[in-house]
């Protein structure tokens, strides 16, 4: 931006122009050179002298105008570029991407820790950077709706939340709260796995093999690529690369796994003529990948035999058990002033639109419901402080299907100690079996089509004592559905987080699979 525009040369008084020194080839009327030194010999010479002087002055004025116009043009051009393409916060550099996730223990060496006996040693492939880190250098184009540069910072945790989420201090005052993007689990999983005590650098001693391909980020970056071959190219490239390794060929990938931050639907495109093309690729349908275990935030309920649901990441990434305990205490003492609440907006798909519209109608008509309506471009639904503050005021949190069956809000409500209310069994029950209590009614409510038309009435029937028991079960779920900070140590955590739970269950699954084989 130009703070002071230069005064156009032509606006100077003529006497002011003539008081300045011009090139030696022209006449100078400076006080240092008396006019008498240049007195012409006759009238003709005087006229010629005046003509030459005016011509030289006009020439300089024209040149000055052109220079000024050029300067203003380029200044305006640079200013418009700045407005159209503002600098992105935390655009990741290679060192930042490969480095730590930030926080108080980022670069502090740690003594070796013991591996959890229920987790088998696992090996992490050192993939060519085109499969993960190089993707992050294109963070502005990783999502067709969002600039992902702020979200891939700090190894996928995103931007630190600037304001405490707890009025009483404690857990929320620590560097453990981030505005984490809902589709970033693959990055956080990778960061946690790299510093995990059960990781081995020797593939011959590993039972599990982790392939850290950022498939979800790649998928969202090519949604609008119409050429299917181009859209599938990196997925096909990955399979060719992995299947060339002896470790993969030994068991044909049955001991290998991927962690993906998007729904399985986004990587299972059907090429049938009758199937709509919404931008998916075919990674999860490739024969080699069908042998692998797939960790995903939403598995296919009917065709996902090798798929296992992992939580969407929420905003809390603790370093220690003490932080978790402090947050759980904060949630327990929250005053639940409303019966139920809903964070979300309408949907266009026919089946999901009807449920959403009915929820919005009922919530708007009740003084016992809190509503945070999400509209395009509105930041309300992406503000961790606002979302959790509202959820902490309600007994129940309504969780209808989103664009697909699942939604990140389920795990936000668990973090807030708010009992989730489902309208489809595929929003949680068939998805996250590794993470959920055995009896669904111990921690949640399912309202089928016959009950969803009277939400307030149905929830009011549940005895207060039962609601309190359900809420306590939800609060006890917080540690295992939370992604701990990548720099957290096992000794300080003292519990299994979402990554640990997945590794424990993968160990059981792979051992069982190999035994059967």
| Contact (CB, 8 A) for 467 and 418 | no
State the pLDDT at residue 153: 97
6-61 pLDDT, tens per residue? 444 344 344 443 344 434 344 343 444 343 444 444 545 444 445 455 555 566 76
Sheet architecture: strand order including 122-124: 122-124, 208-210, 256-263, 293-298, 307-309
Phi, psi angle pair for 153, to nearest 5°: -65, 155
Measure the CA–CA gap between 412 and 417, rounded to whole angstroms.
Answer: 9
Q: What is the DSSP string of 54-76?
A: HHHHHHHHHHHHHHHHHHHHHHH
9 to each of 4, 58, 61, 257, how far by Cα in Å? 15, 11, 6, 71
With CA atoms as reference, report the closest residue to 450 among 347, 364, 358: 358
Sequence-distant (6+) residues with CB within 8 A of 275 are: 269
Domain residue ranges in the chain: 9-84, 122-314+487-516, 327-481
Residues in the chain: 517
State the pLDDT at residue 350: 58
Question: What is the pTM (predicted TM-score) of this model?
Answer: 0.80
Q: Which residue has the tokens 């419901």?
A: 369
Cα three-residue angle 92-188-417, rounded to 5 degrees: 125
State the pLDDT at residue 66: 73
Sequence-distant (6+) residues with CB within 8 A of 39 are: none
Write out residues in the chain with pLDDT < 70, as ranges: 1-59, 61-63, 77, 79-110, 162-174, 348-352, 377
Helix residue spans in 4-108 (DSSP H): 14-18, 43-84, 94-98
**3-state DSSP assignment of residue 398:** strand
State the pLDDT at residue 283: 98
State the pLDDT at residue 256: 99
Pairs from 74-81 (Cβ < 8 Å, separation ≥ 24): 75/2, 79/1, 79/2
CA–chain centroid gap for 35, Å, is 74
Measure the CA–CA gap between 155 and 188, rounded to whole angstroms.
Answer: 6
State the pLDDT at residue 194: 98
State the pLDDT at residue 330: 94
271 to each of 238, 266, 276, how far by Cα in Å? 20, 13, 9
Measure the CA–CA gap between 504 and 516, rounded to whole angstroms.
Answer: 19
CATH number of 327-481: 3.40.50.2000
**3-state DSSP assignment of residue 273:** coil
Sequence-distant (6+) residues with CB within 8 A of 86 are: none
End-to-end CA distance of the chain: 68
**Adjacent-strand bridge partners of 370:** 341
């Amino acid at each position: 931006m130009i703070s002071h525009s230069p005064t156009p040369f032509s606006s100077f008084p003529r006497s002011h122009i003539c008081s300045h020194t011009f090139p030696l080839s022209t006449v100078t009327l400076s006080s240092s050179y008396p006019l008498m030194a240049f007195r012409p010999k006759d009238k003709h010479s005087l006229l010629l002298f005046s003509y030459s002087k005016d011509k030289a002055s006009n020439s300089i004025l024209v040149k000055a105008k052109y220079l000024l116009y050029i300067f203003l043009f380029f200044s305006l051009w640079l200013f418009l570029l700045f407005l159209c393409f503002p600098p992105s916060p935390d655009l990741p550099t290679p060192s930042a991407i490969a480095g730590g996730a930030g926080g108080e223990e980022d670069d502090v060496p740690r003594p070796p820790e013991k591996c959890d006996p229920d987790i088998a040693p696992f090996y992490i492939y050192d993939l060519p950077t085109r499969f993960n880190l190089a993707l992050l250098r294109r963070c502005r184009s990783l999502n067709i709706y969002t600039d992902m540069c702020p979200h891939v910072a700090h190894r996928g945790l995103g931007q630190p939340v600037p304001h405490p989420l707890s009025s009483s201090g404690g857990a929320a005052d620590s560097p453990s709260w981030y505005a984490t993007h809902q589709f970033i689990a693959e990055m956080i999983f990778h960061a946690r796995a790299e510093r995990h005590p059960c990781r081995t650098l020797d593939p011959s001693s590993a039972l599990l093999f982790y392939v850290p391909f950022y498939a979800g980020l790649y998928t969202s970056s090519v949604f609008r690529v119409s050429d299917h071959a181009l859209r599938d190219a990196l997925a096909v490239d990955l399979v060719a690369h992995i299947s060339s390794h002896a470790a993969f060929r030994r068991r044909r990938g049955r001991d290998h796994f991927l962690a993906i931050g998007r729904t399985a639907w986004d990587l299972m495109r059907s090429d049938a003529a009758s199937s709509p093309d919404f931008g998916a690729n075919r990674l999860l349908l490739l024969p080699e990948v069908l042998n692998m275990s797939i960790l995903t935030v939403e598995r296919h309920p009917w065709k996902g035999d090798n798929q296992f649901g992992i939580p969407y990441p929420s905003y809390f990434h603790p370093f220690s058990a003490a932080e978790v305990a402090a947050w759980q205490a904060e949630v327990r003492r929250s005053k639940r002033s409303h019966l139920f609440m809903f964070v979300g907006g309408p949907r266009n798909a026919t089946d999901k639109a009807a449920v959403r519209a009915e929820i919005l109608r009922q919530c708007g008509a009740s003084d016992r419901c809190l509503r945070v309506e999400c509209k395009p471009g509105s930041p309300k639904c992406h503000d961790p402080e606002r979302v959790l503050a509202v959820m902490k005021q309600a007994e129940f949190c309504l969780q209808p299907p989103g664009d697909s069956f699942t939604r990140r809000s389920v795990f936000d409500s668990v973090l807030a100690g708010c009992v989730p209310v489902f309208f489809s069994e595929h929003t949680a029950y068939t998805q996250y079996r590794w993470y959920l209590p055995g009896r669904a009614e111990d921690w949640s409510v399912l309202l089928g089509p016959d009950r969803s038309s009277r939400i307030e009435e149905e929830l009011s029937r549940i005895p207060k004592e039962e609601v309190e028991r359900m809420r306590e079960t939800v609060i006890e779920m917080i540690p295992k559905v939370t992604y701990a900070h990548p720099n957290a140590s096992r000794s300080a955590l003292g519990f299994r987080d979402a990554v640990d739970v997945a590794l424990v269950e993968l160990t059981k699954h792979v051992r069982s699979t190999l035994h059967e084989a």
